[in-house]
Amino acid sequence: MSTPTPSGEPPAESLPAPRRGTSIREFLSALGDRVTYTPTRNSYAIFGFLWGLPIPVFSIGLHCWLARHPPELSMLWEHPVHLIFLAHPLLFAVVFGAMGTVRIRKNAEIRRLVGELERHVAELAEANDKLKELDRMKSQFMANVTHELKTPLVAIRGYNESILEGRFGPLSEKQRDGLTVAVRNIDRLQRLIEELLEFERIDAGAFRPEPTDFDLVPLIRGTLQNFQPQIEEKGLVPEPRLPEMLFVRADREKIGRVLLNLLSNAVKFSEKQSAIGIDATRDENKGLAEVAVWDRGIGIPDAVQKYLFTRFWQADGSSRRRHGGTGLGLAICKGILDAHGASLRIESTEGRGTCAVFSLPLAGRERMSEGPGHDQRKTADSRR
Ligand SMILES: Nc1ncnc2c1ncn2[C@@H]1O[C@H](COP(=O)(O)OP(=O)(O)OP(=O)(O)O)[C@@H](O)[C@H]1O
Ligand SMILES: [Mg+2]
C-alpha cells in the first residue's frame, strides 16, 4: 500500500504518468489556436507546407507531361482534381502547424514545471540549511548542558558517598538504604549524561577510533558480568558461545560500549526466565570476527525496524512504557561501528526475539606475531 508524502501530496506512483504523443483533444484545440496559422511563430506550418508541395507539382507535372502541353490555369477547372492536389500543401501546413502548436504548448508547460521544480529545490535547500544550523545549535546546547550537569553531579555523588561511609556521623539502617538508592540513581543519571555526550561526539563526526589489537573474549565476559544483577533479577539464562580467545583490531573502549548497549537491550527487552546469548566466531576467509548478541524477548515489529538506528527512537515511546532508556543506544553502536568501517545488522521477529550482529577485522598477522597474545593464540589454535 502506498503512503502519502509528508506534505500530504499523493505519492509519486499514484500521479498520472505523462502522456506521450498528441491526443485528439489537444490536436483539435490546437486547430483553434492562432499560433497554428502563424508561420513566423510556428516553423512546423512552413515545414508542413513544404512537405505537401511536391504533391500538386508532381500531379500537375505528370498531367502536362502525359498531355504534352505546358501548365495552364485552365487545367484547374477542366480537371478539378488538381484543386484537391493544390490544397495539399495548405492542408499539410495546417496539420503540421497544429502539431507544432501542441509541441510549443508542451514545451511551455515543461518550462513552467522545471521553473517550479527549481523554485522548490531552492526552497528545500534553504530549509535544509536552516535545519542544519538548528541541528548544530541543538548539539552545541546539548553538549553545554550535559557538561554543566556533569560537574555538580560529581559533587553530589561524592557527598552522598561520604555520608554513606559515615564520615558525617553514624547512619540509621533506613538512612543508609535511602542513600544507597540515591547513589544508584545518581549513577544512572551519570551514565545517561555520558551517553548523551558520547552520542553528540559521534553525531558531530568528532569521533575517530583508536584501534589496537585485543582479545574480544574477556571484554565480552566482563560486559556480561556487568549485567549479572539484572540477569539474576529476571531469571535469565545466559548462553554465551565464545572461543577461548579472539583477537581483533578495533577501539577496545568503544567496542566495549557497543557490547554494553547491545547486551543492555537484550536484557531489558527479554521476558523473565528466557535465554539470552552472545556468540563470537572467527571467519578466517573473510579475516573477520563476528559477534551476535541475541535474546528471546519481545522482538521488534517489522514495520518499525527501519527506525532502529534513528536517534531517540523507541518502539514504545509513550510515557507509560514498560522499559526505560533514551533511544540512543543503537544510534551510538551504529556510529561507533560506522567509524570502524563495520556494519551492524539487526534481525528481529516480534514476540520471538532479536539478534544484533556485527563484525570486526581479525588482528593482523604481523601485529599478532609482535603482540603479547601471540604465544597464547598459537596454543589456542593448536588446541583446536
Ligand atoms: N533486543 C531488542 N528487543 C526488542 N526491542 C529492541 C531491542 N533492541 C532495541 N529495541 C527497540 O529499539 C529501540 C531503540 O533501542 P536503543 O538501544 O537505541 O534505545 P533504548 O534501549 O530504548 O534506550 P538506551 O539504549 O538509550 O538506554 C528500543 O527502545 C526498542 O524499542
Ligand atoms: Mg538500548
CB-defined site of ligand 1, < 6 Å? 261, 265-266, 269, 295, 297-300, 308, 313-315, 325-331, 354
DSSP 357: E
The best mutation among 189, 330, 334 to test binding of ligand 1, ranked by most ligand atoms within 8 Å of the C-beta, falls on: 330
In a domain, 344, yes or no: yes
User: Which ligand does the CA of 277 lie closest to?
Assistant: 1
Same structural domain for residues 357 and 241? yes
How far, in Å, is the centroid of ligand 1 from the Cα of 353? 12
Determine the atom of ligand 1 nearest the C-alpha atom of 270.
3
Domain assignment of residue 14, yes or no: no
Mark which of 160, 186, 206 sits at the end of a domain: 206
Examine the domain organization and report whether 28 and 177 are in the same domain.
yes
d(CA 278, CA 242): 8
Among protein residues, the one whose CA lies closest to atom 22 of ligand 1: 327
Q: Are residues 270 and 379 in the same domain?
A: yes
Per-residue pLDDT of the chain (384 residues; tens, 9 = 90+): 444 444 444 444 444 555 666 788 999 999 999 999 999 999 999 999 999 999 999 998 998 999 888 888 888 888 888 889 999 999 999 999 999 999 999 999 999 999 999 999 999 999 999 999 998 888 788 878 888 888 889 999 999 999 999 999 999 999 999 999 999 899 888 888 888 888 888 887 778 899 999 999 999 999 999 899 899 999 999 999 999 999 999 999 999 999 999 999 999 999 999 999 999 999 988 999 999 999 999 999 999 999 999 988 888 867 677 777 888 899 999 999 999 999 999 999 999 999 999 999 999 743 444 444 443 343 333 333
136 alpha-carbon distance from chain centroid = 20
In a domain, 4, yes or no: no
Containing domain of residue 181, as a range? 19-206
Cross-strand partners of 267:
none
Residue 238 and residue 115 share a domain: no
Domain count, the chain: 2
Is there a domain that residue 2 lies in? Answer: no
DSSP three-state, residue 214: strand
Same domain membership, residue 292 and residue 259: yes
| 184 and 300, same domain (yes or no) | no
**188 shares a domain with 237:** no
Residues 273, 264: contact at Cβ < 8 Å? no
Are 47 and 87 found together in one domain?
yes
Ligand 1 centroid vs 265 CA: distance in angstroms?
6
Which has the closest alpha carbon to 308: 278, 343, 271, 346?
346
Ligand 1 atom nearest residue 299's Cα:
4
The residue type of 303 is A
For residue 38, report the phi and psi dihedrals to the nearest 5 degrees. Answer: -115, 90
Helix axes 43-52, 81-164, angle to 10 degrees: 140
C-alpha 35 – ligand 2 centre gap (Å): 68
Taken as a whole, the chain contains a residue count of: 384
CA distances from 72 to 82, 225, 370 (A): 12, 113, 109
Same domain? For 148 and 233 the reply is no
Provide the whole-model pTM.
0.63
CATH of residue 343's domain is: 3.30.565.10
Ligand nearest to the CA of 266: 1
Ligand 2 center to 334 CA (angstroms): 12
Nearest ligand 1 atom to alpha carbon 313:
14
Residues 186 and 216 in one domain: no
Q: Report the interhelical angle of 216-226 vs 252-268 (nearest 10°).
A: 40
Q: What is the DSSP letter of 327?
A: S
